Amino acid sequence: QKEVEQNSGPLSVPEGAIASLNCTYSDRGSQSFFWYRQYSGKSPELIMFIYSNGDKEDGRFTAQLNKASQYVSLLIRDSQPSDSATYLCAVGYSNYQLIWGAGTKLIIKP
């Protein structure tokens, strides 16, 4: 059974620091990896996707994928209070389905 696990948090990080969010997945057949941000009462918003091993950077966000260890991480540099949200990890498979983690709640403290 395909599973995606995230620490539910909350993860509390001081403003200006680096927030590190982690996600592990169970099935080695996974092909694509996504990070979404969801503010309370709103729908999820795609912030990063990564397909290959290594790092992918976009502004203050860096996604890191390690297929051998079956984990994907999201780093947020220079964290801002507006980054406070729930971050959802999703893993895509060849059957066209995304499997979702339950999300990590991130709190950035001013």
With contacts defined by CB under 8 A, name the span among 18-26, 56-64, 70-78, 98-106 that binds other proteins.
98-106
To the nearest whole angstrom, how small is the minimum distance from the Cβ of residue 15 to other proteins?
Answer: 25
Q: Which of residues 30-49 bind other proteins (CB under 8 A)?
A: 31-32, 34, 42-46, 49
The span from the CA of 3 to the CA of 32, in Å, is: 14
User: Closer CB to other proteins, residue 25 or residue 34?
Assistant: 34
Would you count residue 1 as binding other proteins (CB under 8 A)? no
Q: Apex CA 86: angle with CA 81 and CA 89, to 5°?
A: 130
Pair of tokens at residue 75: 């780093």
Ramachandran angles phi, psi of 82, nearest 5°:
-70, -10
The span from the CA of 27 to the CA of 37, in Å, is: 23
Q: Residue holding tokens 């080695």?
A: 28
User: Closer CB to other proteins, residue 5 or residue 70?
Assistant: 5
With contacts defined by CB under 8 A, name the span among 11-19, 29-37, 52-60, 64-72 that binds other proteins.
29-37
